[in-house]
Amino acid sequence: MRISQRTVASGNVLLCVLCTILVVSLIGGNVLLNCITRYNVASSQVRSWKESLDAAETGGDIAYAELRKTISDPTHAFSPSNGWTYSGGAYTNSPVTYGQDNLSTSSRVDPFYYDGNGNAWYRIRTKGTAPVLGLKRVGMDDRMGPNTRGDSLLRKIDFNYDHFVATYGPNGDGVGQTLLPVSKPQVSRRVELIAAPMTPFEAAIKAGGTFYGLGSAAYIDSYRSTTGSYDASVKTNPSDPRYPDSRSGTVEINSSVATIQGSIYGNLYTNGGTVTKKTTSIFGIIDNNVPFSLSPFAMPSTAGWNYVSSPTMITPNTTINPPVVNGVPRTGTAQSPNYYLVASFANNGNLTVNPAVVNGVAQETYVAIHVTGDIGQNTSSQPTITVPANVHLEVYFDGNFQTKAENIINTSGYAGNLQIYAISPTLPNGAPDPSVQQTVNLNSGGGSTSGFSAVFYTPSANFTINGAPDITGAIVCKNFYGNGNVHWHYDRALDSAGDAVDYRILSYVEDIR
Amino acid sequence: MKLKTSPSIAGFTLSEMLVSLSLSSIVLAAAITCGISLQKSFNAVDNYFSTQMQQIRIIDYLNRDVKRGLVVTTSVDLQSVTMSVPKYIIQAGDPEAIADPESIGMPRTPTVAYTPSGWQVNYSPSTTTVVYSISGNSILRTENGVVTTIASSTDQLVPQSTDVELSNTEYANTSVTFLPIFTSGGAVAERTGTSMYATAYLRNKRRG
């Protein structure tokens, strides 16, 4: 019998080769597995986690846009045609799916607070969901130690069930917890935004267009009426406790065309301007990169206001006394003022609005007047508005406004007690009419003693003020022109006065549960 | 019976043995060296990927908190970040939790207050303090004293954050670097080449 050992030798070599391949394959396979798992986390899970926040914030943007419509276009705000429903005091929309990654978002908006002006504050809760593609497995980086949690603590992925609904309920308030299966792995993130009403008078002067002013010896400073009357010496006395309130005479200009003269004891913002401290006397911050927009102003809803049928026109001698209801003069409230609809305001009209008096004591009285035309039609017009103490008057007008500064008489000295609003011109279909240029023209006939205390919100009007009156108040306008040595005092208490003209997001919280 | 011995399976000569042993040793040494190198390379790649995941995690944690931060400050050496965030969720020990233990884990309803700085939204009279810091080999996230290790620094992870405050906004720039285990003679690029950057804006910035 012949025995060959050649087979054994060949087998050893083959075994060695196989072992080597096995070892290398094990190493490679292990690393490949790790890489795939981590790639899965980095490519799919991290991406989905970030995208779900994008989706949640998109939901916030959608809800915020609807909220802004409550000011600019109330009839179309939270419209059912856009998927919104109102139930239980809150607006909710059906989930919106968008983008090539099929992100979805839904929102819930409810008012949770009303401020002293009757403006609603809204809470916007949104949920954004992104599908998790790739392998249906967790990451491998939670392994750092006994007290260490890594990815799973940060990124909560719902592989089979919605953990949030199961633990906290669909609204996160502990009601209605249920085991809700998900059709495919997903990540959901939730944010809560607080939309605060923007009141009109947050700066001494806010111009949506160009700015020229004021005189070379003019100045703009500030004070806070709730802590005392105006004192011109405070702004240069750092030891005075009122000093911080004296340097908020801020001017905001949404244009690069800004000719700044005089002194500004506050900040100056322009949109692309070239203002520097070397060329101006500005004691606050100069920022030439602050764009903003002023929305056209529409007449607020008068539903809920106390309509009073007379007078319907302002003559040279018109006095408005509060209506008497059940033997008591009605004072109205900020949310529900006594409301008069006036068709004409004579060029030489004199309007006096008296407070309600009960048992000989003047009451805080709230009045709103809508003038569906001009208040003063030419430079010779001298209409007068007189507001005694305790009266809070809001004047809305559709046309132009022209008078002498000294004809605006606000006895209390608090500018917030006389608020003048210019309703933006519109086309018959309700859209803004850019072909009509509103104007507000104030002339000063008596120098510094001819000043006034009032606020103007005229976002579509060109505002011109001549002379050098002392002004306490604030102005929002389109283009601003003032050539006099005005002493302008902005009252910081105004930053919470007036009707909402827009909304801003004041708070942002992510619900990280 | 006599076995016939074939000349073809005759024994090796000493010289043949020596040559074959030498060649085998060389081949084996080469194979082992290759194996070790492969293992090192794979280990380095695995480590790089793992550490990069930690970079992502650090930045994701930090950005999430910066976004909801009311106030954010960075240390002089840029290696720790302290921020105040709203107390949105009721936690054990909070007054609401003591009054109603069922409320633990539930969100608070916000309140509104007017301050000399303007309107403020508050979820609680106090805020939550969150600190990101390096401690030994770990990157720590401390929330109201509760420490969570969010990354291991055995790979010499170094986060650096810069708080940038402008007149009308504020943001935090963060970069995280680490030293990979495969090196090239101490070149600076070893660390800088691993940099990961992020910018997060404060959505809740409070002004004084």
> Which whole-number Å values give the CA distances from A338 to A299, A356, A494, in the listed order?
15, 11, 22
Nearest CA to CA, how far is B187 from chain A (Å)?
26
Q: Which 3 state secondary structure label does DSSP give A434?
A: coil
pLDDT at A149: 61
User: Do residue B111 and residue B189 come from a single domain?
Assistant: no
- Among residues A197, A198, A200, which one has the least CA distance to residue A416? A200
DSSP summary character for residue A277:
T
Antiparallel, parallel or unpaired: β A438-443 and A401-404: parallel
Question: Are residues B180 and B94 part of one domain?
Answer: no
Q: Each residue of B87-138: pLDDT tens digit?
A: 999 988 889 899 998 889 899 999 998 887 778 899 998 899 999 998 887 8
Q: Evaluate whether residue B140 is within a structural domain.
A: yes
Domain count, chain B: 2
Token couple for B90: 């009721």
C-beta atoms of A149 and B68 within 8 A? no
Q: Where are the beta strands (DSSP E) in A33-143?
A: 84-87, 90-93, 96-98, 103-114, 120-131
Min distance B208 CA to chain A CA atoms (Å): 10
Nearest-by-CA chain B residue for A195:
B121
Q: At what angle do helices A6-39 and B14-67 cross, to 10 degrees?
A: 10
- Residues B99, B185, single domain; the answer is no
Q: Is residue B22 part of a domain?
A: no
Residue B90: list chain A partners with CB under 8 A. none
Q: By the CB < 8 Å criterion, does A19 face chain B? A: no
Q: Where are the domains of chain A?
A: 36-198+505-511, 205-501
Rg, Å, chain B Cα set: 30
Which positions in chain A touch B138 (Cβ < 8 Å)? 144, 148
What are the Cα distances from residue A274, in Å, to A83, A268, A271, A295, A472?
Answer: 46, 11, 9, 25, 28
What is the SS3 assignment for B5-32? CCHHHCCCCHHHHHHHHHHHHHHHHHHH
Residue B143 resides in a domain: yes
Last residue of a domain, one of B125, B141, B175: B125
Largest CA distance in chain A: 142
Nearest CA in chain B to A513: B105
pLDDT per residue as tens, chain B (208 positions): 555 555 556 677 889 889 989 998 998 898 888 888 888 888 888 788 888 888 888 899 999 999 999 888 888 888 889 999 999 999 888 898 999 988 898 999 999 988 877 788 999 988 999 999 988 878 889 998 888 888 876 677 888 888 887 766 788 898 888 888 776 666 677 888 888 899 999 988 765 4
B109 contacts on A by Cβ (under 8 Å) = 112
Q: Residue A147 has what pLDDT?
A: 57
Q: Which of residues 195-234 of A touch B (CB under 8 A)?
A: 196, 224
B32, part of any domain: no
Min distance B10 CA to chain A CA atoms (Å): 11
The reply to whether residue B45 touches residue A5, judged by beta carbons under 8 angstroms, is no
- Give the nearest chain B residue to A244 (CA atoms): B116
Residues of chain B contacting A506 with CB distance shorter than 8 Å: 119-121
* Cα separation, A381 vs A360, whole angstroms: 36
Residues B82 and B93 in one domain: no
- Tell me which of A27, A113, A141 to substitute to probe the interface with B (most B C-beta atoms closer than 10 Å): A141
Same domain, B92 and B136: no
Q: Do B54 and A513 touch (CB under 8 A)?
A: no
Instruction: Kindly provide the b/e burial profile for residues B37-74, where b requires at least 16 CB atoms within 10 angstroms of the residue's own CB.
Output: eebeebeebbbbbbbbbbbbbbbbbbbbbbbbbbbbeb
Calculate ∠ Cα B153-B154-B159, nearest 5°: 25
Burial class (CB in 10 A: 0-12, 13-18, 19+), A325: exposed
Q: How far is A265 from A219, CA to CA, in rounded Å?
A: 7
Compare CB distances from B67 to A194, A496, A508 and report the shortest one's residue.
Answer: A508
Q: How far is B65 from chain A (nearest CA, A)?
A: 9
Cβ(A486)–Cβ(A214) under 8 Å? yes
d(CA A425, CA B33): 84
pLDDT, residue A44, reads: 86
Query: Both tokens of residue A304?
Result: 């809920």
Q: Could B167 and A149 be called an inter-chain contact, meaning their C-beta atoms sit closer than 8 Å?
A: no
Do B131 and B147 fall within a single domain?
yes
Closest by Cβ to B105, choosing from A147, A168, A507 = A168
Residue B146 is part of which domain span?
52-87+126-201
Tokens 């001298």 identify what position? A382
Mean pLDDT, chain B, whole residue set: 84
Are B176 and B197 within one domain? yes
- The one-letter amino acid code at A390 reads N
Separation of alpha carbons A157 and A387, rounded Å: 62
Strands A350-353 and A219-223: unpaired
Q: d(Cα B36, Cα B9) in Å, to the nearest integer?
A: 37
Pair of tokens at residue A332: 């109205």
Tokens 């606020």 sit at which residue?
A455
- Pairing between β-strand A157-158 and β-strand A318-320 as defined by DSSP bridges: unpaired
The answer to whether the Cβ–Cβ distance between A290 and B147 falls below 8 Å is no
Q: What distance lies between CA B137 and its chain's CA centroid?
A: 11
Please indicate if any CB of chain B lies within 8 Å of the CB of A73.
no
Q: Over its length of 513 residues, how does chain A's per-residue pLDDT go in tens digits?
A: 555 555 555 667 788 788 878 887 887 788 788 778 878 887 888 899 999 999 999 999 999 999 999 888 888 899 999 899 999 899 999 899 998 889 999 999 999 999 887 889 999 999 999 999 888 877 766 655 655 567 777 888 999 999 999 999 988 888 889 999 999 999 999 999 999 998 889 899 999 999 998 888 899 999 999 888 899 899 889 999 889 899 999 999 999 998 999 999 999 999 999 988 777 788 988 989 989 888 888 888 898 899 999 999 998 889 999 999 999 999 999 889 999 999 999 888 999 999 999 999 999 999 999 999 999 877 677 899 999 999 999 999 999 999 988 899 999 989 999 999 999 998 888 788 889 999 999 887 666 567 889 999 999 999 999 888 889 999 999 999 998 888 999 999 888 788 888 899 999 999 998
pLDDT for residue A507 = 92
Residue in A296, A336, A332, A325 with CA at minimum distance from that of residue A425: A296
Residues 100-159 on A with a CB inside 8 Å of B are 112-113, 115, 121, 123, 139, 141, 144-145, 147-151, 153-155
Does the distance separating the beta carbons of B6 and A2 come in below 8 Å?
yes
- Asked whether residue B94 falls in the same domain as residue B197, the answer is no
Q: Do residue B110 and residue A30 have CB atoms under 8 angstroms apart?
A: no
- Helix, strand or coil, per DSSP, at residue B158: strand
Q: Do B35 and A174 touch (CB under 8 A)?
A: no
Optimal mutation site among B2, B167, B171, B181, interface A, most CBs of chain A within 10 A: B167
**Residue B101 and residue B154 share a domain:** no
Hey, are the CB atoms on A196 and B45 less than 8 Å from each other? no
Q: Does residue B75 lie in a domain region?
A: yes
**Subunit contact A139:B49, Cβ cutoff 8 A:** no
Do B49 and A46 lie within an 8 Å CB cutoff?
A: no
The answer to whether B120 and B106 are in contact (CB under 8 A) is: no
pTM of the entire structure? 0.78
Phi, psi torsion values for B162, nearest 5 degrees? -120, 125
CA-wise closest residue to A269 among A198, A208, A338 = A208
Which one of B42, B57, B60 has the shortest CB-CB distance to A28? B42
Partner residues linked to B131 by β-bridges: B82, B142
The rounded Cα A246 to chain-centroid distance in angstroms is: 25
Residues B178 and B107 reside in one and the same domain: no
B119/A512 touch (CB, cutoff 8 Å), yes or no: no
* Cα–Cα distance, B147 to B87 (Å, whole number): 17
Instruction: For residues B77 and B142, state if they share a domain.
Output: yes
Q: Which pLDDT score, from 0 to 100, does residue A34 have?
A: 78
User: What value, to the nearest 5°, has the Cα angle with vertex B43 and ends B39 and B48?
Assistant: 150
Contact A150 B57 (CB under 8 A): yes
Beta bridge partners of A84: A93
B159, part of any domain: yes
Q: Kindly state whether residues B92 and B192 are assigned to the same domain.
A: no
> Which ipTM did the prediction report?
0.83
CB contact under 8 A, A144 and B151: yes
Type of residue numbered A433: D
Tokens of A188: 């959901």
Tell me the C-alpha distance between A318 and A344, whole Å.
12
Gap between the Cα atoms of B57 and A372, Å rounded: 61
Q: What is the pLDDT of residue B208?
A: 47
Enter the tokens of residue A132. Answer: 């998790």
> Contact A511/B88, CB-based, under 8 Å?
yes
Residues of A in contact with B168 (CB under 8 A): 269, 287, 290
Spatial distance between the Cα atoms of B195 and A392, rounded to a whole number of angstroms: 60
What is the CA angle A167-A512-B208, rounded to 5? 140
Residue B93 forms part of a structural domain: yes
